[in-house]
Structure 1
């Protein structure tokens, strides 16, 4: 027994020694000026920075939140198998073993597209939510008219929301519940639920769009409902659903953690205003994979409070591309960190991959990687815009902004419609730092050369970069000389950047 106890004491001593060594090494590293990637004031070494991103990302602290992992954890894998069994049952019309099926038709839903089925859906939901192993079933081959509704949790374990039919919103804005002006289908307070089934969620948005201030400039600008919202949830999976013609945004993930969206299809006309496909806000550990999105706004938009967002195999177009932002509007503070896109095809879009911030804001966007993107007939494939201004009146120059740092654009190829294929418009007062372009090959559709435009964007290019991005290296503030900067500031009128 004493020998064992002595071994344990020896192990503790060795462990303490290793911790002490690590602390000393960290202190030496800090003293030498090589701080964590993203820290202000660090003199970043190019090789270190490239190594950081070469294996798929992660930050210098070793958290690895940008590493891609196609598999669920063990518990999640079992849940996926159970969800697959429900899908198989739906196809064969045989009830799954051990599942409590709650059919909205059994609670009085008409499913004819004209009768209001909201109350029937609410009654069915209350029943399903109270049962373990419940399946909330919206049968296929039917069209259910549902008004603003809240599917509230917490519910019992292993809830599956099986949407096989079509859920359609009221067409007339006048029919909308004034107590829920921004929400249509809200799923809130759920843990581990599965939302699936191959059905359709149709927002009937055409009359909402006609009343938008972006379509009718005489109208007052006001919000409209989001078709589907996942709010304050944990471990939710959404897959194989089709969302179309939302009043404004199609699918929003807010104030949630560990949410996965797969095989989601979003469709709306390219002139439909503010119809973002998937919007992420105030959420962490969100995965978006294998989704096809075509809308009148951003295919995917990632806004304030978003951390560890991973996107893979995205098809985008038409639309405004895949965006982080907008951030910092009205002088607000914003924070976004750990965003990774690995694999996308973006076609017939205004932008490819983009970061957009308003002047006057504060906070940061850092540790971002856009990789393996094919662009086809896109106005501006690569954009950082710290002068974003989507307003009726001009936006005046301000000295504060959301800080953008540690951003890599890697293996982005294809065709651009505009001469400015790469546009890095950063703030004079808060320049972008550690911006890396690696293996870029962009041309006009007719084979003509395009160009890179920089303002106050600091970084470097690596590998083959076409068009050349020498402006990342040539001056402390982008490609402008100090004299040009001073003249530009004196002559600059109020900025009026509309949506790119």
Structure 2
């Protein structure tokens, strides 16, 4: 009898184990929501905005991990749209086809001119799929005041915005011809950006590749960024950013700033830029006079520059105005900045520019193993400094300038 009872108990335990495995498997299996099943045509002509919104609502409401699919081989026309969380489970936005913005400016109202696709308030989001996000920005560039001085300056959309997202992964996507900024990461944490191809003509105005502000713990790696403005722009509130293996150019290099505009306070720290290839502008930190706060603990290293305009530049007197900016006493403090293992060619004789404030000078600036030469060997490079407190390590060409008051 004891032997029979033991066998029955063992059999029951096995059944319970198999049932638990079956339940766990069903819980962990993703459920797919295709935009086509919610009325999308995918012909690039009809408006598929409402279909995407419906598919998003269904996927975001799923109690099981969900995949929102944009099928391959189709083009989906989208007007301005915000896809919001929180979602009930982790969600994968699988973009295999193309999301395309309207070509006509009449499809944009004054209220939605700043954004095209916004993903807001989501935890555990992955955006991937190998597809394309096409901003169709040509008409916006032609009507920009930076292209046509006779036109008034108006806002243009950022193609892809992530706002208040955490545990975010964006990888294996193409972003092309954005109306203005290609991708913006705002108020986010724990972010992974990888294997992105971001392209726009070198003449397209304000088409920053990746813009990061008020975000922490961000990693960017293995990306190719070729645009008409900064490959990456790093703004106030960015902390603990690591950038590795990025091809940059055409474009304005990687810029920290502008910081401290309109006498504002800015705080940036823990910025680590490692391995850039082919950058057509340089490593830059720029701040307005009159600001406050800090930009500190910053490393630019292992960078190859090709015929750049401004290879290494710190500018605490930055002014982006048609009129001269007035002199002010305060500035965003810049400290503990390392430029290391940087080589290549420059169009400008001033290969190193350290233009610091009279009141809050740049401190603990390190120049280590720098080799910057004139493109085509046309003369010698030089450095210019104002109120910069620096030291060098290893060979540095051009020779750093003397500290001046």
Which residue of the other structure, out of 460, 464, 476, is the alignment partner of 2:395? 464
Deviation per CA, 1:260-283: give whole Å up to 9, x if none.
Answer: 100011100111111000000000
Q: CA deviation at 1:470?
A: 4.2
Which residue of the other structure, out of 347, 359, 362, is the alignment partner of 1:429? 359
1:124 — aligned with what?
55
Deviation per CA, 1:103-135: give whole Å up to 9, x if none.
Answer: 001111011111000000000000011112110
* 1:199-218 alignment runs, 5 A limit: 199-218=131-150
Secondary structure at the counterpart of residue 195 of structure 1: strand
Q: State the TM-score, normalizing by the size of structure 2.
A: 0.91
C-alpha contact (below 8 Å) 1:346/1:378 kept by paired residues: no
Query: Structure 1 unaligned runs (5+)?
Result: 1-96, 472-477, 483-500
1:278 — aligned with what?
210
Secondary structure at the counterpart of residue 221 of structure 1: coil
* 1:350-365 alignment runs, 5 A limit: 351-365=281-295
Q: CA deviation at 1:354?
A: 0.4
Secondary structure at the counterpart of residue 241 of structure 1: strand
2:252 maps to 1:346: no
2:172 — aligned with what?
240
Which residue of the other structure, out of 310, 322, 327, is the alignment partner of 1:380? 310
Deviation per CA, 1:390-443: give whole Å up to 9, x if none.
Answer: 122221222211111100000001111110111111111211000000011110
1:390 — aligned with what?
320
2:305 maps to 1:366: no
Which residue of the other structure, out of 78, 81, 88, is the alignment partner of 1:149? 81
Deviation per CA, 1:33-73: give whole Å up to 9, x if none.
Answer: xxxxxxxxxxxxxxxxxxxxxxxxxxxxxxxxxxxxxxxxx
1:442 — aligned with what?
372
Secondary structure at the counterpart of residue 367 of structure 2: strand
1:222 — aligned with what?
154
- Cα distance between partner residues in 2 of 1:273 and 1:438: 33
Secondary structure at the counterpart of residue 360 of structure 1: coil
C-alpha contact (below 8 Å) 2:269/2:296 kept by paired residues: yes
C-alpha contact (below 8 Å) 2:83/2:120 kept by paired residues: yes
Q: How many residues are paired up?
A: 376
Secondary structure at the counterpart of residue 290 of structure 1: strand
1:191 — aligned with what?
123
- Cα distance between partner residues in 1 of 2:150 and 2:68: 43
C-alpha contact (below 8 Å) 1:148/1:177 kept by paired residues: no
Query: Structure 2 unaligned runs (5+)?
Result: 1-27
1:55 — aligned with what?
none
Q: RMSD of the TM alignment (CA)?
A: 1.1
Q: CA deviation at 1:174?
A: 1.7
Displaced runs of 4+ in structure 1, greater than 4 A? Answer: none
- Cα distance between partner residues in 1 of 2:319 and 2:155: 18
C-alpha contact (below 8 Å) 1:346/1:352 kept by paired residues: no
C-alpha contact (below 8 Å) 2:385/2:401 kept by paired residues: no
Secondary structure at the counterpart of residue 155 of structure 2: coil
2:263 maps to 1:331: yes
* Structure that is richer in strand per residue: 2
Deviation per CA, 1:69-109: give whole Å up to 9, x if none.
Answer: xxxxxxxxxxxxxxxxxxxxxxxxxxxx9221100011110
- Cα distance between partner residues in 1 of 2:55 and 2:134: 20
2:346 — aligned with what?
416
- Cα distance between partner residues in 1 of 2:328 and 2:150: 29
- Cα distance between partner residues in 2 of 1:364 and 1:311: 20
- Cα distance between partner residues in 2 of 1:139 and 1:419: 51
- Cα distance between partner residues in 1 of 2:52 and 2:114: 20
Q: CA deviation at 1:177?
A: 3.7
Secondary structure at the counterpart of residue 56 of structure 2: helix
Secondary structure at the counterpart of residue 236 of structure 1: strand
Q: CA deviation at 1:388?
A: 1.3
Deviation per CA, 1:420-467: give whole Å up to 9, x if none.
Answer: 111111111211000000011110122332011111110100111111
Q: CA deviation at 1:362?
A: 1.1
2:239 maps to 1:307: yes
- Cα distance between partner residues in 1 of 2:283 and 2:81: 34
Which residue of the other structure, out of 181, 184, 192, is the alignment partner of 1:260? 192
1:231 — aligned with what?
163
